[in-house]
Chain A
Amino acid sequence: MSGRTPVEGADVCVVGAGPAGGIVADRLAADHEVVVLEAGPRFDPAERTDRQERAIRPAYDRPDVWEMGGPRDAHSASGERFYPLNHARVKGIGGSTLHWQGMVMRLHEDDFNSGSARGVGPDWPVDYADLRPYYAEAERELGVSGADDNPYAPPREEPHPMPAFPPSYSDSLFAEACEELEIDMHSVPNARNSEPYDGRPECVGYGTCQPVCPSGAKYDATTHIESAAARGAMVIDRAPVQRLEHDADRVTAAVYATPDGERHRQEADAVVVACGGVETPRLLLLSESTDYPDGLANSSGLVGRLFMDHLFAGAGGVLEEPTRQNHVGFYTSGCDQFYDDADAEVAPFKLEFFNYAGPSPVETALSADEWGDDLLEGLRDSYGNHVAMGALVEQLPREDSYVGLDPDRTDDHGNPVPDVHWSVGDRALRTIERANEIQTAVLEELGAEIEWVAGPDDTGPAYHHMGTTRMSDDPGAGVVDADCRTHDLENCWVASSSVFPTGGAMNPTLTIAALALRVADHVDGALR
């Protein structure tokens, strides 16, 4: 057997080496023969400072940092809002956690019951109590720094694995304004080490968390892939799965390509598709057959449908005093006070108090038209007194928001590329306005001169791909069941935010990790 040939007698084939695939593989590798197929490369950790340089230098766009783009990653965006897919994801061992921000909140209890509690959208077939022990486990797996000071967070049973990062200096400025407005601030959970944890160092403040952490203090899924490999899993990189072969009831093999131009068939008793909210439905759609003419596992017709992201709302300005921004690349305080006010008219949203408002001097210097003393004077003028707030807003699943295949464009293997057709409804847009009202009120109370507002016309996606293989007890209303197993195929599971029936407004990765741990339990049970 060479390094890229199939493993005989495999129990589990995991497609995708991001956090979901990594966690599933790591959980199962000790007791089962596990193979992981990853479309992208295994990046050399020694190159992370080079990637950081790309993140800072203006010659490179965000996709260049992790080598996204080109024929492999071609995509379309036919919706009313352009979707910059290659800014939103990374292909490689570690997946999009290589470039993520690292925020790890639990969804709220009502997020699992949107239809019942808020009067819009479906309920999940699982609730918070079902996921609660998995959330705690996921926090240990990822390594989360957090505190129990958030009165609006759902109930938890134990402290976070590490203490929270203390509030920033600018948080203390915001705190005075928020107290006047009776707005509560609290810490936020970070998947970033506030102290050494699980063999990884504490954060040393490089300030480029998104898109690259050179120190390894920020969690990324290379951790779980390396652990899975150490337990015996075979991890094959640069092995994009082309289709899932199947009969009417089971996936029989994953057909993957290798850099030498060969194709291989990886058979396994169980298959876990963990390619994120875009490539997961794309792979199922590419695997159409006479049994499944509309795409594999698509008897419901919902594969790729109901695509959701979180929407950004923000506002920023300047004060007449120093605010000490851009020392670190993460934020330390948030506000969930308004989250559970959500109803049919207004969506849940969370507020963020940035520690990286305004320009980073080094980035400004590299794009300036002057140098020497003039440049320094310009940098001193532009840096130092900015403040900003952000927010994430839920969007509801919509029929006109979906991931499909573009029949007119193919990737480097001749497969139709994903078409992210993204649409946003009025409830989300109204909620952005509501978030803006609070943000501008806080900034005005702070005495800031407001310079920008990201409102309904300027919003963009948070790069959280959800909803495209919805979870439901009803085979007609979802692609996977409550165990994240496809309704149509008895040995095929999906571990991804693609199973979220609704999105809430919390960053999704902790929930992805919790569901992946749960999927691993179900796969393990099915194999025994």
Chain B
Amino acid sequence: MELSRRDAVAALAAIGAGTGAAVHAVDSDDDTAAPPVETLVAAAEVVYPSELSGVEPFVEALAERRAAGDDAHARGVRETVRELDRHAESWYDAPFVELSAADRDALLREVGADTADEDPDGTTAERVRYYVVNELLLALYASPTGGELVGIENPQGHPGGVDSYRQGPGR
């Protein structure tokens, strides 16, 4: 199943879009305010199901709105991605994006993001869960395509109208 631009737009409607800054803001504490698109795409390739296609443009659109601004959320995403990269360099001698999918999966588990409860102010595991893993899962499963993978074309958080709740499974 292919993620579409409509999914990206829907995901951004469903979740807060931070400041909505599409232009990369200058950040005094963060001189690389560009969104870490490649790292997020690399993480999405692990946390998204394999039957999905179109992941890259979907995550690009997400990152532009959620990880590019000067708001606390965007800074949190970038800082957490840098932290993830530091672990990748330390444990696998390469940045996250250069690891194999198996190593990316292993690294995310080794930092504890699989079992951690998300917390934007918590431990590394909790922040990776919040700003990377759940950032991606929220965008996907609140979108129509992500919902349809599960069997719900109007998932919670998506303004999909008031027709689908009336329709039976053979819609």
Number of chain A residues whose Cβ lies closer than 8 Å to a Cβ of chain B: 53
Report Cα–Cα, A324/B137, bound state, in Å. Answer: 21
**Residue from the list B17, B141, B166 in contact with A361, Cβ < 8 A:** B141
Report Cα–Cα, A422/B164, bound state, in Å. Answer: 40
Could you give, for residues 31-61 of chain A, a 1 whenever the CB lies within 8 Å of some chain B CB and a 0 otherwise?
0000000000000000101111100111100
Chain B minimum-CB-distance residue to A328? B165
**Residue from the list A59, A215, A369, A383 in contact with B159, Cβ < 8 A:** A215
Report Cα–Cα, A53/B46, bound state, in Å. Answer: 23
Contact B137 A366 (CB under 8 A): yes
- The distance from the CB of B54 to the nearest CB of chain A, in whole angstroms, is 16
Report Cα–Cα, A370/B105, bound state, in Å. Answer: 10
Residues of A within 8 A of B93 (CB): none
Flag whether A154 is at the interface (Cβ < 8 A). Answer: no
Report Cα–Cα, A370/B166, bound state, in Å. Answer: 32
Flag whether A415 is at the interface (Cβ < 8 A). Answer: no
Contact A376 B15 (CB under 8 A): no
Flag whether A129 is at the interface (Cβ < 8 A). Answer: no
Instruction: Decide: A205 near B169, CB < 8 A? Known: A366-B138, A371-B114, A372-B50.
Output: no
**Residue from the list B16, B117, B161, B167 in contact with A53, Cβ < 8 A:** B16
- The distance from the CB of B117 to the nearest CB of chain A, in whole angstroms, is 6
Residues of B within 8 A of A326 (CB): 152, 155-156
Residues of A within 8 A of B141 (CB): 361-362, 365, 379
Contact A57 B159 (CB under 8 A): no
Contact A58 B150 (CB under 8 A): no
Flag whether A363 is at the interface (Cβ < 8 A). Answer: yes
Report Cα–Cα, A321/B170, bound state, in Å. Answer: 11
**Residue from the list B105, B114, B140, B158 in contact with A206, Cβ < 8 A:** B158
Residues of A within 8 A of B154 (CB): 205, 207, 327-328
Contact A59 B150 (CB under 8 A): no
Contact B166 A169 (CB under 8 A): yes
Chain A minimum-CB-distance residue to B141? A362
Flag whether A375 is at the interface (Cβ < 8 A). Answer: yes
Residues of A within 8 A of B108 (CB): 371
Could you give, for residues 114-154 of chain B, a 1 whenever the CB lies within 8 Å of some chain A CB and a 0 otherwise?
11011110000000001001100110111000110111101
Residues of B within 8 A of A324 (CB): 152, 164-165, 167-169
Chain B minimum-CB-distance residue to A327? B165
- The distance from the CB of A174 to the nearest CB of chain B, in whole angstroms, is 13
Instruction: Decide: A371 near B137, CB < 8 A? Known: A207-B158, A361-B150.
Output: yes
Residues of B within 8 A of A447 (CB): none
Contact A168 B157 (CB under 8 A): no
Residues of A within 8 A of B118 (CB): 57-59, 366
- The distance from the CB of A285 to the nearest CB of chain B, in whole angstroms, is 37
Contact B152 A205 (CB under 8 A): no
- The distance from the CB of B165 to the nearest CB of chain A, in whole angstroms, is 4
Contact B137 A365 (CB under 8 A): yes
Flag whether A125 is at the interface (Cβ < 8 A). Answer: no
Interface size classification for chain B: 35 or more
Report Cα–Cα, A373/B142, bound state, in Å. Answer: 17
Flag whether A355 is at the interface (Cβ < 8 A). Answer: yes
Interface of chain A, main secondary structure: loop
Residues of B within 8 A of A376 (CB): 49, 51, 149-150
Contact A380 B150 (CB under 8 A): yes
**Residue from the list A49, A204, A371, A379 in contact with B160, Cβ < 8 A:** A204
Instruction: Decide: A383 near B134, CB < 8 A? Known: A205-B159, A322-B169, A324-B168.
Output: no
Residues of B within 8 A of A206 (CB): 14, 156-159
Residue from B115, B134, B167 having most chain A Cβ neighbours under 10 A: B134
- The distance from the CB of A332 to the nearest CB of chain B, in whole angstroms, is 8
Residues of B within 8 A of A166 (CB): 166
Chain B minimum-CB-distance residue to A206? B159
Contact B166 A204 (CB under 8 A): no
Flag whether A112 is at the interface (Cβ < 8 A). Answer: no
Residues of A within 8 A of B140 (CB): 365
Contact B155 A360 (CB under 8 A): yes
- The distance from the CB of A64 to the nearest CB of chain B, in whole angstroms, is 11
Residues of B within 8 A of A202 (CB): 162
Report Cα–Cα, A355/B155, bound state, in Å. Answer: 13
Flag whether B61 is at the interface (Cβ < 8 A). Answer: no
**Residue from the list B16, B46, B47, B150 in contact with A52, Cβ < 8 A:** B16
Report Cα–Cα, A214/B16, bound state, in Å. Answer: 10
Residue from A47, A206, A215, A370 having most chain B Cβ neighbours under 10 A: A206
Flag whether A165 is at the interface (Cβ < 8 A). Answer: yes
Contact A205 B164 (CB under 8 A): yes
Residues of B within 8 A of A322 (CB): 151, 168-169
Q: Which B residues fall within an 8 A CB radius of A? A: 13-17, 46-51, 105, 108, 114-115, 117-120, 130, 133-134, 137-138, 140-142, 146-147, 149-152, 154-162, 164-169
Q: Which A residues fall within an 8 A CB radius of B? A: 47, 49-53, 56-59, 165-169, 172, 194, 202-208, 214-215, 321-322, 324, 326-329, 332, 355, 360-363, 365-367, 369-373, 375-376, 379-380, 383-384
Pick 13 A–B contacts, CB within 8 A, sort by A: A56-B15, A56-B156, A59-B119, A172-B168, A205-B154, A205-B160, A206-B158, A207-B158, A214-B159, A324-B152, A328-B154, A328-B162, A371-B133
Besides A215-B159, A321-B169, A373-B51, 18 more A-B contacts (Cβ < 8 Å) are: A49-B14, A52-B157, A56-B142, A168-B165, A169-B165, A169-B166, A169-B167, A205-B158, A205-B164, A324-B167, A324-B169, A362-B138, A362-B155, A366-B118, A367-B117, A369-B114, A375-B49, A379-B149
Q: What are the nearest 10 A-B pairs in CB distance?
A: A50-B16, A327-B165, A204-B159, A371-B47, A322-B169, A362-B141, A207-B156, A376-B49, A361-B150, A360-B156
